[in-house]
Amino acid sequence: MATAVPMATRIPVRISVNGTEYAAEVEPRLLLVHFLRDNLGLTGTHVGCDTSQCGACVVYLDGKSVKSCTVLTVQADGGEVQTIEGLAKDGVYDPVQQGFWEMHGLQCGYCTPGMIMSAHSLLQRTPNPSEEEIRHALEGNLCRCTGYQNIVKAIQYAANQMSGAGVSGNGSGAGTHNPQDVGDWKGELAGEST
Amino acid sequence: MVAAQEAPAKLVGQPLKRREDPRLITGAGNFLDDVKLTGLCHAAVVRSPYAHARIVGIDAEAARRMPGVVAVFTGEDLAEVNPLPCAWQAGNVQNNVNTPRLLALGEVHQVGDPVAVVVAESAYLATDAAAAVEVSYEELPVVVDARKATEPGAPQLHDNAPNNVVMNWTCGKEAAEVDAALAAAPVRVNQRVVNQRLIPTAMEPRGSIGRYDEGTGEYTLWATSQAPHVHRLLTAAFVLGVPEQKIRVIAPNVGGGFGSKIFLYFDMPLVLWLSKQTGRPVKFFEDRSENYLHTTHGRDHITDIEVGAEPDGRITALKVKTWANLGAYLSTIAPGIPTTLYGRMVAGCYKIPNIHVDVTGVYTNTAMVDAYRGAGRPEAAFVIERVCDLVAAETGLDPAEVRRRNFIQPEDFPYDSGIGMLPYDSGNYELALDRAMENVGYAALRQEQAARRANGSRKLLGVGLSSYVEVCGVAPSKWIGLAGEGWGAGLWESANVRVHLTGKTVVTTGSLPHGQGHETTFAQLVADELGVPYDDIQIEHSDTQGTPFGFGSYGSRSLTVGGTAIYKSVAKVREKAKELAAHLLEAAPEDIVFENGKAFVRGTPDASKTIQDLALAAHVAYDLPPGMEPTLEATTFYDPPNCTFPFGTHVCVVEVDRDTGEIDLLRYVAVDDVGNVINPLIVDGQVHGGIAQGLAQALYEGAVYDDSGELITGTMNDYAIPRARMVPTYELDRTVTPSPVNPMGAKGAGEAGTIASTPAVANAVIDALAHLGVRHLDMPLTPEKLWRAMAPKTG
């Protein structure tokens, strides 16, 4: 099944994702969300629209939440990305993930990864948000199932947990990890942990 | 060891966290676009930019030469492949059927009609090449409005459908009889209402992956599907003409459906055909713009209402004429929505002696319209709940009083509304109304409203009621399969319950979730009924291989029909276990008691056989009673004797700014009766989401076409899906009137919120403006629309 696709111009990038550094050569037009999903196989980040409205693709890039459908992979060169797959630590859910589970903050689950990442980002900026602040912070994330009420409760739950337990962290991946090959994208082993 | 004497806690009724969630909150949910296959190719579709045109020529040569392109096909290449079937051909539709081909041949009838498909090594390359396919068209005249499409001289879509009429359908009494009742009524109101077109917008768009195995001749289809078995049947028998057993359909995690994923779409058979042609697995995954253009829409009715009433508010006659826009072709069950599921429900929860409903289904140059959350019942509830408020305005009665005076009473059940619906199963409509009015503080709100009106407040207060009843748990085959209703197939459901040798229990069901939490709810039910630990129970679904045929999930049927099939299979397993226990305990079967997973001789619970003991004995099978077959499992195909009829009352309180038309949602109170509840956390979540969708129709959403057939609201930038700040806090409550139709007493909860909320919100907004002489406004009720409605009064 090997296929000889003529190479368009490709740009080398090195991007840390969930603490692992990847090197690849990508087309300049390749969106970050497709790099994550198709090249790295990190399919937890979803695509729900083509106009940057829905927020299903929200990830952290250098500590800021971004819509990865609106970032070119080459723009993330040298950056640190954290996706939903990198949020739980040592098998323990992040309080935001836990909150979504506890409060029934999801139904079909398609918007959920982006919703959780945006909520996580909110709580980094505003540890004890009001309901109004929560709803405002979710302007860029659409959910069609829940009617949002339990998402609000999930984030309130997380805020309480985090303030009560003193949990903190900037949400970006850190630590020692093994570099990984990126398969047929000619990924070179980066050999460096972030 | 101390035997646990007390009964284990029952799980039914408990708000268990969902067992589905861990995978979904960690990014491990396996949605269609996440499926990884070796050698996977990507399909991109070339779509018509015109709403109505003749295809003059297609030049795909440049596209074929582009990098990474595997193949390009046009409608000519698929000329021998059947068009998609329409499975629900309501009365008189049979002669006028037009369904989509996999790729258009000769003519296109809506913007977005697929005319060619490119298969390439990546989605990017496929999209590049699709843009290079040159299609020349000769434009034809366009019509997008259902009523205009039936007028003389309107553009014609299909040769076999004169005046673009799909069907003319009626129910209830003869028109003349109802006309006479109207003429005799002292109170008369006429009103045209528009139930605008909506776009379902499941957060996951639609898609499909096809893989053909040359060695076995078998096809595998992964699809965003609410009905995998039905999709297999229709693809095999009606479109591709291959043996049904040669196709396996798998629905991975489905990211919302709301009806839009019930139907067979062009891409499902197409990817299978493409895979056979190219020798590669092929994926099609629509982007959001394609989803908005070409996946089915909902609602889109224009309705003329004539109502007659007594001065005391009793409604004596109702005549309804509806033009139902069904789009460019008939989708899978489209004709059934504005007929069986709409026309037969317009009586709502009221005793109305004279009803005539006349529905004209119409082709237009727009996306196909089919079931969308509620499917016909929201349109019906909107009509009858507007009627109640119109009668209230005309008689000067309070809207609550009008409803109260017309309610079907508890002693009237089972109740035949006289317009061809099955008898309503059970209900106590006044109780729900009373509870809702109490919860919202209705009397005080009316006083506040009067005070504000008296003092000329610029903040207009509006209170809107919606008392609804809907039909769920579709459906008894002997009813829905009748020629008059037109489905021509049953709507039973299947379940297999298998206790493995180890005691681990696997349940397969033909229903399947796309967000509703079947794996949790069904496991709660089985744990209680079988006495197997909750964690030992696995619910399997969504794959035609290994599950008996089932009709899928829609119409709030999963628990009431699918759950009953499970319940009955568990009962059969229990009976077999008792029989085996009697043998092992050397007792008569009639003396065996089965409780909490243990079988014992009545009066001697200490000498018991657990369900796990019995599963082991049934599998090793060397000591079975004479004639008993090994293993411990049962299958049920359950055909319900009736539908179920959830009901309730929702109240919305709004404040409208007299100067700007801005609307504030102050309160939203819902009292729903969905019968007995297995998982209240999940049921509340269903109601929340339903309310959000319904109120969004009242205030925000509307699919708009221009006169050339261009979808103006073609992206999420233009179509107003509600955001977190656009919805209120929902204050929920329940009454519980068990359904006598199924052993759980459940009625169904998936659509109630949507059905109830649209009229509640619309009635509230219109009520806020009532003292200015406003009787009706069409949705969505935007500030601009309100401002214009109020403007003349400001001089």
Are residues A67 and A31 part of one domain? Answer: yes
Helices (H) and strands (E) in chain B, counts: 19, 26
Are residues B624 and B663 part of one domain? Answer: no
Contacts of B686 in chain A (CB under 8 A): 107
Identify which of B31, B121, B721 has the shortest CB distance to residue A142.
B721
Q: What residues are paired with B188 via a beta bridge?
A: B308
Instruction: Taking residues A57-81, report their average pLDDT.
Output: 98
Instruction: Please count the structural domains in chain A.
Output: 2
In angstroms, the separation between the Cα of residue A87 and the nearest Cα of chain B is 8
Both tokens of B589, joined, read 């079967």
In angstroms, the separation between the Cα of residue A170 and the nearest Cα of chain B is 18
Contacts of B23 in chain A (CB under 8 A): 109
Instruction: Please count the structural domains in chain B.
Output: 3
Which residues 280-299 on chain B approach chain A with CB closer than 8 angstroms?
A: 280, 287-289
Between CA B647 and CA B637 the distance in angstroms is 27
Residue in the block written with tokens 């021998």: B80
Identify which of B30, B288, B515 has the shortest CB distance to residue A107.
B515
In a domain, A20, yes or no: yes
Which residues 519-558 on chain B approach chain A with CB closer than 8 angstroms?
A: none
In a domain, B323, yes or no: no
A145 → chain B, closest CA residue: B689
Identify which of B204, B287, B716 has the shortest CB distance to residue A110.
B204
Are residues B665 and B691 part of one domain? Answer: yes
Between CA A122 and CA A151 the distance in angstroms is 13
> Which of A108, A117, A152, A155 is the best mutation test for B, with the most CBs of B within 10 A?
A108
pLDDT in tens, B585-644: 999 999 999 999 999 999 999 999 999 999 999 999 999 999 999 999 999 999 999 999
What local confidence, expressed as pLDDT, does residue A116 receive?
98
Helices (H) and strands (E) in chain A, counts: 5, 5
In a domain, B362, yes or no: no
Contact B436, B651 (CB under 8 A): yes
> Which of B212-249 are b and which e, b meaning 16 or more Cβ less than 10 Å from the residue's Cβ?
beeeeebbbbbbbbbbbbbbbbbbbebbbebeeebbbb
Contacts of B717 in chain A (CB under 8 A): 51, 53
Query: DSSP states of B660-724 as a string?
Result: T--EEEEEEEEEEE-BS-S-HHHHHHHHHHHHHHHHHHHHT----B-TTS-BTT-STTTS----G
With CA atoms as reference, report the closest residue to B137 among B114, B116, B108: B108
Neighbours of B630 (CB within 10 A): 11
B281 → chain A, closest CA residue: A1
In a domain, A54, yes or no: yes
Spell out the residues 6+ positions from residue B515 whose beta carbon is closer than 8 angstroms to its own.
Answer: A107, A108, A109, A145, B254, B255, B256, B257
Q: Do B716 and A53 touch (CB under 8 A)?
A: yes
In a domain, B412, yes or no: yes
What local confidence, expressed as pLDDT, does residue A99 receive?
98
> Which of A9, A68, A90, A107 is the best mutation test for B, with the most CBs of B within 10 A?
A107
Query: How are the residues of chain B apportioned to helix, strand and coil, as percentages rounded to the nearest 5?
Result: 30, 25, 45
Are residues B572 and B459 part of one domain? Answer: no
- pLDDT class of A185 with cuts at 50, 70, 90: very low
Are residues A77 and A114 part of one domain? Answer: no
The answer for A26, left when phi > 0, alpha when psi is -120 to 50, beta otherwise, is beta
Are residues B236 and B103 part of one domain? Answer: yes
Are residues B736 and B775 part of one domain? Answer: yes
In a domain, B151, yes or no: no
Between CA B644 and CA B752 the distance in angstroms is 12
Are residues B672 and B625 part of one domain? Answer: no
Q: Do A108 and B204 touch (CB under 8 A)?
A: yes
Are residues B704 and B560 part of one domain? Answer: no
Q: Do B31 and A46 touch (CB under 8 A)?
A: yes
pLDDT in tens, A30-45: 999 999 999 999 999 9
B21 → chain A, closest CA residue: A101
Are residues A157 and A136 part of one domain? Answer: yes
Both tokens of B103, joined, read 């790729």
For the domain that residue B75 is a member of, what is the CATH number? 3.90.1170.50
In angstroms, the separation between the Cα of residue A183 and the nearest Cα of chain B is 13
In angstroms, the separation between the Cα of residue B789 and the nearest Cα of chain A is 29
What local confidence, expressed as pLDDT, does residue B587 receive?
96
Residue A101 domain boundaries: 95-165
What local confidence, expressed as pLDDT, does residue A174 receive?
31
Identify which of B36, B39, B721 has the shortest CB distance to residue A1.
B39
Q: Does B450 touch chain A (CB under 8 A)?
A: no
Are residues B740 and B675 part of one domain? Answer: yes
Are residues A74 and A127 part of one domain? Answer: no
Between CA B369 and CA B401 the distance in angstroms is 36
Between CA B638 and CA B784 the distance in angstroms is 51
Distances in Å between the alpha carbon of B639 and those of B228, B557, B569, B642? 19, 11, 13, 9
Helical ranges in B506-563 per DSSP H: 518-530
> Which of B16, B17, B23, B24 is the best mutation test for A, with the most CBs of A within 10 A?
B24
> Which of B203, B209, B668, B754 is the best mutation test for A, with the most CBs of A within 10 A?
B203
Identify which of B121, B122, B727 has the shortest CB distance to residue A147.
B727
For the domain that residue A43 is a member of, what is the CATH number? 3.10.20.30
In a domain, A3, yes or no: no
pLDDT at A175 over 80: no
With CA atoms as reference, report the closest residue to A56 among A42, A39, A68, A71: A68
With CA atoms as reference, report the closest residue to B527 among B393, B669, B679: B679
In angstroms, the separation between the Cα of residue A159 and the nearest Cα of chain B is 17
CA angle B560, B359, B98 (to 5 degrees): 85
- The H or E element containing residue B281 is none
Contacts of A118 in chain B (CB under 8 A): none
Q: Do A45 and B287 touch (CB under 8 A)?
A: no
What local confidence, expressed as pLDDT, does residue B8 receive?
62
Identify which of A42, A101, A146 has the shortest CB distance to residue B21.
A101
Between CA B756 and CA B672 the distance in angstroms is 9
Are residues A78 and A142 part of one domain? Answer: no
Identify which of A50, A109, A136 has the shortest CB distance to residue B255.
A109
Between CA A45 and CA A70 the distance in angstroms is 13
Which residues 81-120 on chain B approach chain A with CB closer than 8 angstroms?
A: none
Helical ranges in B175-314 per DSSP H: 175-184, 228-233, 267-278, 288-294
Are residues A109 and A77 part of one domain? Answer: no
DSSP annotation of B741: S
In angstroms, the separation between the Cα of residue A135 and the nearest Cα of chain B is 5
What local confidence, expressed as pLDDT, does residue B6 receive?
52
Contacts of A43 in chain B (CB under 8 A): 27, 30-31, 33-34
Q: Do A46 and B18 touch (CB under 8 A)?
A: no
Neighbours of B714 (CB within 10 A): 22
Q: Does B222 touch chain A (CB under 8 A)?
A: no
What local confidence, expressed as pLDDT, does residue A5 receive?
46
Helical ranges in chain A per DSSP H: 32-34, 95-102, 112-125, 131-137, 149-165
Between CA B474 and CA B371 the distance in angstroms is 13
Residue B575 domain boundaries: 21-27+492-638
Are residues A99 and A149 part of one domain? Answer: yes
Spell out the residues 6+ positions from residue B794 whose beta carbon is closer than 8 angstroms to its own.
Answer: none
Are residues A15 and A82 part of one domain? Answer: yes
What stretches of B132-290 adopt beta strand conformation (E)?
A: 134-139, 165-172, 187-198, 207-213, 218-223, 247-250, 282-285
Between CA B321 and CA B329 the distance in angstroms is 22
Which residue numbers in chain B have pLDDT < 70?
1-8, 483-484, 792-795
Task: Say yes or no: ipTM exceeds 0.90.
Answer: yes
Are residues B222 and B127 part of one domain? Answer: yes
Residue in the block written with tokens 């989708």: B331
Contacts of B650 in chain A (CB under 8 A): none
Residue in the block written with tokens 């996706």: A83
For the domain that residue B662 is a member of, what is the CATH number? 3.30.365.10
pLDDT in tens, B726-741: 999 999 999 999 999 9
What local confidence, expressed as pLDDT, does residue B93 receive?
76
Which residues 118-137 on chain B approach chain A with CB closer than 8 angstroms?
A: 121-125
Q: What residues are paired with B148 via a beta bridge?
A: none
Strands B53-59 and B134-139: antiparallel
In a domain, A186, yes or no: no
Identify which of B30, B685, B716 has the shortest CB distance to residue A51.
B716
Residue in the block written with tokens 């000591």: B623
With CA atoms as reference, report the closest residue to A109 among B203, B722, B165: B203
Q: Do A108 and B255 touch (CB under 8 A)?
A: yes
Contacts of B652 in chain A (CB under 8 A): none
Contacts of A135 in chain B (CB under 8 A): 723-725
* End-to-end alpha carbon distance in chain A: 36
What local confidence, expressed as pLDDT, does residue A193 receive?
27
Q: Do A107 and B22 touch (CB under 8 A)?
A: no
Are residues A54 and A105 part of one domain? Answer: no
Instruction: State whether residue B402 is helix, strand or coil.
Output: helix
pLDDT at A177 over 50: no
In angstroms, the separation between the Cα of residue A166 and the nearest Cα of chain B is 22
Sheet of B632-638: strands edge to edge? Answer: B537-540, B505-509, B493-499, B632-638
Average pLDDT, chain A: 85
Neighbours of A57 (CB within 10 A): 27
In a domain, A157, yes or no: yes
Are residues A160 and A121 part of one domain? Answer: yes
Helix axes B377-395, B752-768, angle to 10 degrees: 30
Amino acid (one-letter) located at B237: A
Spell out the residues 6+ positions from residue A28 whose beta carbon is closer than 8 angstroms to its own.
Answer: A9, A11, A72, A74
Are residues A102 and A73 part of one domain? Answer: no
Distances in Å between the alpha carbon of B241 and those of A165, B10, B114, B238, B281? 62, 49, 22, 6, 20
Both tokens of B335, joined, read 């004709």
In a domain, A31, yes or no: yes
Q: Do B122 and A5 touch (CB under 8 A)?
A: yes
B15 → chain A, closest CA residue: A104
Exposure on the CB side of residue B31, measured as CA atoms within 13 A = 31
> How many beta-carbon contacts under 8 Å exist across A and B?
195
pLDDT at A188 over 80: no
Which residues 743-762 on chain B approach chain A with CB closer than 8 angstroms?
A: 753
Between CA A59 and CA A115 the distance in angstroms is 10
CA angle B344, B350, B356 (to 5 degrees): 40
Q: Do B288 and A49 touch (CB under 8 A)?
A: yes
Instruction: State whether residue B167 is helix, strand or coil.
Output: strand
Between CA B517 and CA B683 the distance in angstroms is 10
In angstroms, the separation between the Cα of residue B294 and the nearest Cα of chain A is 15
Q: Does B723 touch chain A (CB under 8 A)?
A: yes
In a domain, A101, yes or no: yes
What stretches of B441-489 adopt beta strand conformation (E)?
A: 459-469
DSSP annotation of B245: G
What local confidence, expressed as pLDDT, does residue B320 receive?
98
